[in-house]
Amino acid sequence: MRQKWKAVIRVLRRIDRTQYFLFVLLTLLSAFMLLPLVYIFNHAFKPLHELFLFPPTFIVREPTTQNFIELLNLTQSTFVPVSRYIFNSVVVTILATIGMVVVGALCAYPLAKHKFPGSKLVFGTIIVSLLFVTDTIAIPRYVVVQSLGIMNTYWGHVLPMLALPVGVFLLKQFMEQLPDELLDAAKIDGASEWGIFTRIVLPVVSPAIATITILAFQSAWGNAETSIFFMQEESMKTLPFYMSTLTANLANTVARQGAAAAGVLIMFLPSLIIFLIAQRKVITTMAHSGIK
């Protein structure tokens, strides 16, 4: 233990004043960026009288779990319990996340390593699609989903979310860094195109896949549009839709605020956990996505 401390002291002695200043500055900046997280966690456990204090407090004084109990009790007298909304969200998020990653990888690979006629036009179209607001394509999406006959089904949730242009862009940028000689060597050794894709390309671009998984998860987990537009049956709607209705059309702005605070924490936790698990790969992806 003493040797470890001596090694730490030797490292600290090598740090100059500029590095000390940057360390303190980045530490303060990190603490400042953590304030919203601290607020969300504490807000969910505040009793009703603390929720409306002014100025608002970051740290809860009298923590309580009553908000979560209220959230569960709100649906006891209704046909659909809150557990059904959670189940729908979990199923839809898992299917949509897997689908977005698979579709993005299958689209990015030929664009990166097979320069077919019109590949630049296809990639340009994908980039331009990032400019479109979701509301502008709501009617065409509704027509397509209705024509396919998947209203009030899980496919009605999943299929409209499969296209993730950001995922295609990041995966393409990553795959373009793979040496063509490596793929050619695999072909000479008798590897099939599918084998090259699954055994060579995907393992190498795993940091980008982890990043796309996070983006896809957040997009699917927080999506309420499919429930609003494509689901008429209440039992097929997801948790984000239910959260959006907690405080809607109420006679006052006080009712259900505790349940809403608990719901915000429930919606936020899965995204935070997924990000913490894959944060290193996210940093790697951001560092290499623009390097050729």
The domain spans of the chain are: 2-64, 78-288
Report the predicted TM-score, pTM, of the whole model to 2 decimal places: 0.79
In angstroms, rounded to a whole number, what is the distance separating the alpha carbons of residues 100 and 165?
Answer: 10
Res 98: pLDDT: 93
Do 236 and 152 meet the contact criterion of CB atoms below 8 Å apart? yes
Res 290: pLDDT: 46
* Each residue's pLDDT tens digit, 124-142: 888 888 887 777 788 888 8
Res 75: pLDDT: 67
Q: What is the DSSP string of the chain?
A: -HHHHHHHHHHHHH--HHHHHHHHHHHHHHHHHHHHHHHHHHHHT--HHHHT-SS--SS-SS--SHHHHHHHHTTTTSSS-HHHHHHHHHHHHHHHHHHHHHHHHHHHHHHHH---TTHHHHHHHHHHHTTS-GGGGHHHHHHHHHHHT-TTSHHHHHGGG---HHHHHHHHHHHTTS-HHHHHHHHHTT--HHHHIIIIIHHHTHHHHHHHHHHHHHHHHT--HHHHHH--SGGG--HHHHHHTSSTT-SSSSTTHHHHHHHHHHHHHHHHHHHHHHHHHHHHHHHHTT--
Q: For the chain, list residues with pLDDT below 70.
A: 1-16, 75-78, 247-255, 281-292
Do 75 and 235 meet the contact criterion of CB atoms below 8 Å apart? no
Note the Cα 144 to chain centre separation in Å.
25
Res 1: pLDDT: 58
**CATH class assigned to 78-288:** mainly alpha
